[in-house]
Amino acid sequence: MFVNYLATRVGHLHAATAVLALASLALVTGCQREGEELQAEIRPVRVMTIESRDSNGALSLTGTVQAQAEINLSFRIDGRMIMRTVDIGDSVKAGQLIARLDQQDEERGLQAARAQLAAARAQLLEARNNYGRMRELVAQDAVSRATYDQAEALLGTADAQVKAVKAQVDLAKNRLSYTRLLSDVAGVVTARGPEAGEVVGAGRMVVQVARDGARDAVFGVPAQIKDSAQSNSEITVFLTSDPQVTAVGKVREISPRADPVTGTFAVRIGLLNPPPAMRLGSTVTGRLKLSVASGIEVPASALTRAGGKPAVWVVDAQALTVSLRTIEVRGQDTAKVQVGAGLNPGDVVVTAGVQALRPGQKVRLLEASKS
């Protein structure tokens, strides 16, 4: 019995060992197969070979049409605005009434100044008459010289008082006229400030007017190419919605300060005789000439990100594997990217299929073209 029991236990141990061995063998075999499959995975990609070449020195940009001069119209005095006659988009003429303040306080101030002027003139008339009498009497030695001098001094004081009150009347008239806001220029209203019923302070913008006449096409350019824009270079801009509508312009101004939101620098192109269709606010496209002699360009589809920076996948020609390389972008549009640094002539860059790659990935080249 005991011998049979031992034989049975030994048999069970051998069976368990065999099962474990088979499971380990299956696990190892599965891992080997998975590793072989990962090693054998080859991604087909389209590529291009980088060549440094002469650049056309131009960058396609999208911007808007703006007036060369925009003027903020505001009241010169404080008060409660009771009406505004224009709104955004309205055309205004020079001298046109834009808005008006409540005039009651200024009218009362003018009435008070006029009353003071009347009183001062009465005092001046009295002083003038008294002086005339004193002049005759002093000639007859009827009054003392001191009395005459006093009458002369009172006449001078009364005359000065009249002049001072006249100035106050003129000031009150001006303040009354300042309750009416008139446009200084002809143009189009592009922005508005307070509404009727609000109390406005002196100098607060009531409406903004884009002056008629000269217009600019304004583009935002990256910092990398701001200094490459050629001043006074002639370019052609066209309506984005209708490329047949074109105008010639020259670089008039390059802003030295970046926009706090977009980080780009404003380049203003003065348009020469723009067509009527290029209205204020229209979206336009232009080719901005740059002072560069050569450069490297890759399709926009080749661009990806690595650590928050622009990068491309570069192919190792010997091992046919890919690796990420960060680059410096000098400029870009919807079709291509201008590379300032990070790529060299002869580098093979992936142009399609970049989202499916990983570092060390083996690839199969579908196309190898020149940049």
- Average pLDDT estimate for 203-230: 83
The packing angle between helices 145-177 and 104-139, to 10°, is: 160
Residue 47: phi and psi, rounded to 5, are -135, 170
C-alpha–C-alpha distance, residues 335 and 346, integer Å: 22
Confidence class for position 157, pLDDT limits 50, 70, 90:
very high
* Helix residue ranges, H only, the chain: 2-40, 104-139, 145-177, 223-226
**Does 341 have pLDDT greater than 70?**
yes
Give 6's pLDDT tier (boundaries 50, 70, 90).
very low
CB atoms within 10 A of CB 73: 20
| Averaged pLDDT score across all residues of the chain | 81
Rounded CA-CA distance 52/62 in Å is 27
Q: How confident is the model at residue 56 (pLDDT cuts 50, 70, 90)?
A: low
Whether the pLDDT of residue 1 is over 80: the answer is no
Which are the contacts of 217, defined by CB distance < 8 A and separation ≥ 6? Answer: 63, 64, 65, 66, 237, 247, 249, 268, 269, 271, 284, 286
User: What is the pLDDT, as a whole number, of residue 333?
Assistant: 66
Q: Which residue has the tokens 């002639």?
A: 234
What is the pLDDT at residue 328? 81
Question: What is the pLDDT at residue 49?
Answer: 82
325-330 contacts, C-beta under 8 A, 24 or more apart: 328/224, 329/222, 329/224, 329/303, 330/222, 330/224, 330/225, 330/295
Q: For 68, which DSSP code?
A: S
